[in-house]
Structure 1
Amino acid sequence: MKPSFDILIVGIGGQGTVLASNVLGEACIIEHRSVRSAETHGMAQRGGSVESHIRIDGKFGSLITPGTADLLIAFDLLEALRYRHYLPAGGRLVVNRHLVVPTSVYQQGLAVPDEESILAALSDLDVACIDAAELAEEAGSSLSQNIVMLGAASGDIPLRPETLEEAVRRCVPPKTVEVNAKAFRLGRAAAGERGAPAP
């Protein structure tokens, strides 16, 4: 049996990847579960890639080995493609229907990728594609897309949904608590009531 449940959250600087990983860490603390995490920021401040590794109940290091993640949460379609090698074939991917085209694509005159071609390249995975921007606007703020995505992935995470929502309330700024709590619930509803894996 695998000793930990490994989640990789990926996105672009400014999308709230680190906050999302903090929410998961707080939820583990609430449930008295061990958790190890690590973030790599790189050129995040300039729109670069950000990845957060979260290992629930793990006994070893905080970095996930490629090909072994249990869940990949991607805040951008291209980031899902960039990090898909962390999942085994058939692995679970929850991805935002959002695409930031890197400047280098335009500079080099390359073809701009589209959603259909990216999803085709991810067809060997178990994919849930979520329109987080629309749901975040419905919740009251476009800045809550990261929490929408956590809600959408919550059925795949071995933590109680009420624990995750409480962790959201503890981790976001006080004036945004209700917006983010609503964003979490909307994301969860959009992905369906998928049963969480056993702890």
Structure 2
Amino acid sequence: MTGNVTLSMDDLRAVTAFAAVSAAEVLEIFEASHPSDSRPRDAIDIARTFAQGARRTKLLRDAAWNALKAAQQCQDADASQAARAAMCTASAAYLHPLARSTQVRHILGAAAHAVHAAELAAGDAADVATHLEHAARYANPTVIDVLCRYPLAPPGGGRVGELLRILDRALRTERQIGPQTID
């Protein structure tokens, strides 16, 4: 796939809303260890405001950068992943209309980071398939339609990249994620 993808503002709002719900699921992981740091929450809130009809402004970009800085300052991996989910949420509004596999990160990045945060927080007892299934349920038909306009998620990216590809395959084919899809 080469060229451009057609995206409407409604498409961007749907993708951003999906990302916000995904990241909000694990926000408490970050806030439990960093109760006075509002940067991830701010990123999610600003993204939600956009998803509900506000203009796409520099505030979204600034919120994404601030959430990334919060993630980078974390000592604990689960909180860092939760903050990265928030960063991806604010970034989702800037999904580019380029038919490149890397753009799938704008669509599914928040969900993949959120699943990884939950996985890390749960430790060995993590039921990853359940977390993936839960994340996939938030993807409405518009999100899936937008996803299908792009090539498959790219290789690499460590555990988050692996989770991204599992979600990508599941949402493109059938909305069922089971233990057999976990590589």
TM-score, normalised to structure 1, is: 0.33
Structure with greater helix percent: 2
Hey, which of these two has a bigger chunk of strand by percent?
1
TM-score by length of 2: 0.34
Greater RCO (CA < 8 Å, at least 6 residues apart): 2
